[in-house]
Amino acid sequence: MISKPAQAYLEAEGIRALRVEYPQSVFNSCCEASNFEPEVKRGQPDHPENYKSYQAGPVTIFLHRSIRLSDRGDWEIGLFRFLGYKKLVFSGFRPI
Q: 4-91: what fold?
A: Hypothetical Protein Aq_1857; Chain: A; (2.60.300)
pLDDT digits (tens, 9 = 90+) for 71-95: 777 899 999 999 999 999 998 887 7
With a cut of 80, say whether residue 12 has pLDDT above it: yes
Q: Around Cβ 38, how many Cβ atoms within 10 Å? A: 24
Question: What's the predicted TM-score (pTM) here?
Answer: 0.82
Q: Around Cβ 86, how many Cβ atoms within 10 Å? A: 13
Mean per-residue pLDDT for 5-30?
Answer: 84
Spatial separation of the C-alpha atoms in residues 60 and 72, rounded to whole Å = 22
Domain boundaries, the chain: 4-91
